[in-house]
Structures are given as structure tokens and as C-alpha cells.
Structure 1
Amino acid sequence: MKLLHVDSSILGPGSVSRALTADIVAAERRRHPGLAVVYRDVAAAPVGHLSGAHLAAFQGAAAPDAPALQADIAAGQQALEEFLAADIVVVGAPMYNFSIPSQLKAWIDRLAVAGKTFRYTAEGPQGLAGGKKVIVASSRGGFYGPDTQAAFLDHQETYLRGVFGFFGIADVTFIRAEGVALGPEQREKALEAARSEIAAAA
């Protein structure tokens, strides 16, 4: 089996989502001996954001900065191939300003390729990347669960569930640590709760 481990937090060692993805991957290694793991840090080594030059190149037009553009397109293709090859995808997704880090969005934009992860049919869009398991380590400074007053501001988990569902992936699990910016006690409580979920799942 193959696992793709993706981190996106800009906080380095102080990141809650990075700590949780490491725990999730360790649990999956115990569950699946011989598991092959590919690691991608989209904060330390970001995939470029899509631009008009990308769209022109995808449509066959020449670009003045062709060498740099071709290298960037190749990097995006590698990200797509890593995703398609994985049986399990573990994503660290902190909430930034009610959504996900722009670096994580840029990575997802490279996965959303017609004919690879989805296609349009007469009956509507069809996901082509089903059969995978996605585990998202979600960290949030406040509380945005469905039973909270701030739930309407959640464009993090709702987006991720929607886009992976669009790719045809039905098995999406969120390991959530909420309220981590509300003080050391709540941060530790949130981490303990999330790690209990990871242990229970394993």
C-alpha cells in the first residue's frame, strides 16, 4: 500500500496539524506493515499557484518564460501522480481565516484535472479518484463545529470534504483539534482528544 503525507502549516515544529499528521501516519504504518510513504510539505516547497500562463500552456499556446513554466507544470504533474498513486492520503489542514492555507489550495488546484480526477458527463460531473481513504488533520484556533454559532464560517472542512467528494472519494475522515488558540490548557485538551481519535481508529 502507498500513503501520501501532505503538510501545509506555516508554523513548523509549533504546528498542531503537523503533530497530528505525524501521529496518523505512525498509526497507519502500524496498521499496514510495509506501507510506502511519500511526504510532501507544500509550505516548505510550495507548488505554484495557477496563472494565466498555465492556462495558456494547457491550451497549447507558447509562453515567453517557457523553461520556468515547463518546470512548474512538471512539478504539478508530479503532485498529481503522487496523489493518484496513493491508497491513503493524510492531509494536515489548519484553518487560516476560515479556510485552508493558500499553499494547500494551490496543491489541490494541481489535482483538479479533467480526465484524471474527474470528468464531465451528460449526467453531471463524475469523480475518477475513488477508492482512496483521505484522513484530514484539522486544526482550528476557535470552535467551528456544526453545533457552534461560528459553524457558518467553516470554509475549511466543508471545502475539503466537497473537493475530495468531487474527485470521487467517499471515505474522508477528519481528526479535529479545536480551540487551540484559546490557551495552553485548551490546546493540550484538543490535542489529547484528537490523539484519542487516532488511537481509536487504529
Structure 2
Amino acid sequence: MTRTLLRIDASARTEGSTTRQIADRVAERLAPETVVTRDLSQGLPMIDSDWIAANFTEAADRTEAQRAKLALSDELIAELQAADTILIAVPIYNFGVPSALKAWIDMIARARVTFRYTEAGPEGLLTGKRAILAVASGGTEVDSAIDFATPYLRHVLGFVGITDVQVVRSDRQMVDAEASFARAATDIEELAA
């Protein structure tokens, strides 16, 4: 059962976006009690040297300016921590993820907050969560040799501890739109609520 769904919309398109339409259908299928939506269409700030310096300063030693620099990152991480299901609506842009989604990943992948390094290697700290990727493309086949978005997202999510990742795909729309939408419908039907 999905109690809290965090929905990340990564498409730059706010109207006519396939990933947003698919995400609507996935959210309807899951019927969560609470939905928190993070729309990345206007972009996010890129991390910079001040952000990195703040991040690597112990929390108790951070200046007010450093705390302010990390405030958005803290907010994004809190959204992830509160959710039991994360729905990422992601179009494949030029074989990869949109830049705004990469910026979101840079903001939420924080050592000692969402992952930590151990003698056995990195350990994700966001365990017990489920992620659903609603992926759309014009010509790139999901999980093909030229899809650098879907495997990347699986890896990043696993790195922070989210290993239960399912994919709803509406790929290769410009090759065969009807088949593309049929694949998405089938994938949605196979999702457990």
C-alpha cells in the first residue's frame, strides 16, 4: 500500500508531456493517501563550490550561509525520507536524463545523509522504499545499449538504498506510438497498488 507518494516530474514540457500523463495514471493506480509533487520543469540550481564546502562541513559547524546553501537539498531529502514510494516521470533527452533531474540527484545524493561509506563499500540509507520510473522516449528503446537514463536512475536509486525499482515505459514513440502507449498501459496494469 502506498501511503506517501513523492512524484518527481522531470519533463521540461508542462503541457502534452507523455511522462506526466503516465505518472498521472500510475498515481491513480497506486491511490496513495498523500502525494507530494516536485516539478523540475523550471530547473534547480546547480551545485557549486560553496554548496560542496557547506556539505563537507560538519552540521554543527556550518555557518548560517552554509545552512542556507543546503536548505533546498535538505528539503528535497526530507521529501524522499517521508515517502514510501517515489515516482519519477522521466523523458529520455539525448540518451540521458534531463539536466534538471541530474541537478535533483546531485542535491539528494549526500554522504552521511542518504548514503555512507563503510569498509564494505557504500551503503544507501533510504531503504524500505519503492521507486517507479515512468520513462518516455521518441526513438530510444528503454534498457537498450543507447539508453543511459534508465540504468543510471536504477544505479543512483540503489546507491541511496532504493533497490525496488520498476519501470513503466512508453519508449520509441516516434517509431510506433500505438505500441508505445500499449506498453505503458500493460506496465501500469502489472504494478501492484
Give 1:98-177 correspondences, 5 Å limit.
Answer: 98-146=95-143, 151-177=144-170
Per the normalisation by structure 1, the TM-score is 0.84
Once the 2 structures are TM-superposed, how far is the Cα of residue 193 of structure 1 from its aligned partner? 2.0
Contact 1:47/1:76 (CA < 8 Å) preserved in 2? no
> Could you tell me how far apart the structure 1 residues matched to 2:118 and 2:167 are?
30
Contiguous gaps of at least 5 residues in structure 2: none
> Could you tell me how far apart the structure 1 residues matched to 2:41 and 2:169 are?
20
Contiguous gaps of at least 5 residues in structure 1: none
1:54 corresponds, among 43, 47, 51, to 51
> Could you tell me how far apart the structure 1 residues matched to 2:141 and 2:188 are?
20
1:14 corresponds, among 13, 16, 28, to 16
Query: Structure 1 residues 57, 116: CA separation in 2 closer, same or farther (over 3 Å shift)?
Result: closer
State the superposition RMSD in angstroms.
2.1
Contact 1:56/1:62 (CA < 8 Å) preserved in 2? no
> Could you tell me how far apart the structure 2 residues matched to 1:138 and 1:71 are?
33
* Residues matched between the structures, number: 187
- C-alpha offsets along residues 71-110 of structure 1, whole Å, 9 cap, x if unaligned? 5521221011001110000001110111100100111111
1:187 corresponds, among 166, 177, 180, to 177
> Could you tell me how far apart the structure 2 residues matched to 1:10 and 1:176 are?
18
- C-alpha offsets along residues 39-87 of structure 1, whole Å, 9 cap, x if unaligned? 110113x321111121123345999xx86x7555212210110011100
SS at match of 1:12: coil
Contact 2:88/2:134 (CA < 8 Å) preserved in 1? yes
Structure with a larger share of its residues in helix: 1
Contact 2:138/2:174 (CA < 8 Å) preserved in 1? yes
Percent of aligned pairs with the same amino acid:
34
> Could you tell me how far apart the structure 1 residues matched to 2:87 and 2:147 are?
20
Query: Structure 1 residues 133, 50: CA separation in 2 closer, same or farther (over 3 Å shift)?
Result: same
